[in-house]
Structure 1
Amino acid sequence: MAEQSIGALASKIVGPWAWWQAALKNPDAIGKTLPVHGDEPQQGYYRAKNKDKSFDPVAIYYPEGSSELVAYRNGREVRPDEIWTWCCRYPVSYAAYNAAMDGKGWPDDDKVVAAQVAPPEPTIGDNSGEVSEDEKIKDQIEAALKGVDTYAKITDDETSAKAQSLRNRLNELSGDADKKRDALKRPHLDAGAAIDKKWMPLVKNAKAGADKVKAAMEAWETTKLQRRREEERKAEKARLDAEKAAREQQGETAVIEAPAPVAPAEVAPAPIRATYGKAASVQAKTVVDKVTDWPKLAVYMSNHEECQELLRKLAQRALDAGRMNIPGITTTEAAKVR
Structure 2
Amino acid sequence: MSEENRWAWWQAALEGDIGPMHEGQPEQGYYRTRFKGGQWEPVALWFENGEWHAMRGERMVDPADTWNFCRTHPVSYEAYQKAIEGAGWDDEPPAPSIGHNLPSDPHEALKLEYESEKELAADLMKKEVKTEDQASQIAILSKRISVVTKKATDFHKVEKQPHLDAGRAVDDKWRYLKEDPADLSKQLKRHLDAYLIAKQREERERQEAARREEERLRREAEEAARKAAEADQQSEAERQAAIDRARQLEQEAAAKAKEAEAKNASAGRTGARVSLRTFPEPNITDYDALLTALKDRPEIREVVESLAKRAAKSGVSLPGMEIIEVQRAA
The answer to whether TM tops 0.5 is: yes
Q: Any conservation in 2 of the 1:268–1:284 contact (CA below 8 Å)?
A: no
C-alpha separation between the residues in 2 aligned to 1:73 and 1:151?
A: 28
- Alpha-carbon distance change, 288 to 103 in structure 1, aligned in 2, over 3 angstroms: same
Higher helix share: 2
Residue of structure 2 aligned with 1:315, choices 303, 308, 316? 308
1:202 aligns with 2:163: no
Residue 225 of structure 1: how far off its partner (Å): 9.0
Residue 275 of structure 1: how far off its partner (Å): 3.0
C-alpha separation between the residues in 1 aligned to 2:75 and 2:189?
A: 73
Residue pairs, 1:130-145, within 5 angstroms: 132-145=105-118
C-alpha separation between the residues in 1 aligned to 2:315 and 2:173?
A: 47
C-alpha separation between the residues in 1 aligned to 2:271 and 2:8?
A: 95
Q: Determine the structure 1 residue equivalent to 2:86.
A: 103
Q: Determine the structure 1 residue equivalent to 2:295.
A: 302
C-alpha separation between the residues in 2 aligned to 1:283 and 1:272?
A: 10
Residue 57 of structure 1: how far off its partner (Å): 0.3
Residue 307 of structure 1: how far off its partner (Å): 1.6
Residue 40 of structure 1: how far off its partner (Å): 4.9
Q: Determine the structure 1 residue equivalent to 2:257.
A: none
C-alpha separation between the residues in 2 aligned to 1:148 and 1:297?
A: 49
- Alpha-carbon distance change, 203 to 89 in structure 1, aligned in 2, over 3 angstroms: farther
- Alpha-carbon distance change, 276 to 286 in structure 1, aligned in 2, over 3 angstroms: closer
Unaligned runs of 5+ in 2: 205-260
Q: Determine the structure 1 residue equivalent to 2:44.
A: 59
1:87 aligns with 2:70: yes
Percentage of identical aligned residues: 24
Please give the TM-score of this superposition, normalised by the length of structure 2.
0.62
Q: Any conservation in 1 of the 2:197–2:276 contact (CA below 8 Å)?
A: no
User: Which amino acid letter does the alignment assign opposite residue 38 of structure 2?
Assistant: K
User: Which amino acid letter does the alignment assign opposite residue 284 of structure 1?
Assistant: T
Q: Determine the structure 2 residue equivalent to 1:331.
A: 324
Q: Which segment is superposed worse, 198-207 or 149-158?
A: 149-158
Residue pairs, 1:174-185, within 5 angstroms: 174-185=149-160
Residue of structure 1 aligned with 2:61, choices 70, 74, 78? 78
User: Which amino acid letter does the alignment assign opposite residue 57 of structure 1?
Assistant: P
- Alpha-carbon distance change, 305 to 108 in structure 1, aligned in 2, over 3 angstroms: same
Residue of structure 2 aligned with 1:114, choices 91, 96, 107? 96
Q: Aligned to 1:22, what secondary structure does the other structure show?
A: coil
Q: Please identify the structure whose Cα radius of gyration is greater.
A: 2
C-alpha separation between the residues in 1 aligned to 2:21 and 2:195?
A: 79
Q: Any conservation in 1 of the 2:203–2:265 contact (CA below 8 Å)?
A: no
Residue 82 of structure 1: how far off its partner (Å): 0.5
Unaligned runs of 5+ in 1: 25-33, 123-127, 230-266
Residue 104 of structure 1: how far off its partner (Å): 0.7
Please give the TM-score of this superposition, normalised by the length of structure 1.
0.60
Residue 97 of structure 1: how far off its partner (Å): 1.7
Aligned residues: 271
Q: How large is the Cα RMSD of the aligned pairs?
A: 4.5
C-alpha separation between the residues in 2 aligned to 1:228 and 1:331?
A: 64
Residue 145 of structure 1: how far off its partner (Å): 2.8
1:270 aligns with 2:264: yes
Residue 91 of structure 1: how far off its partner (Å): 4.2
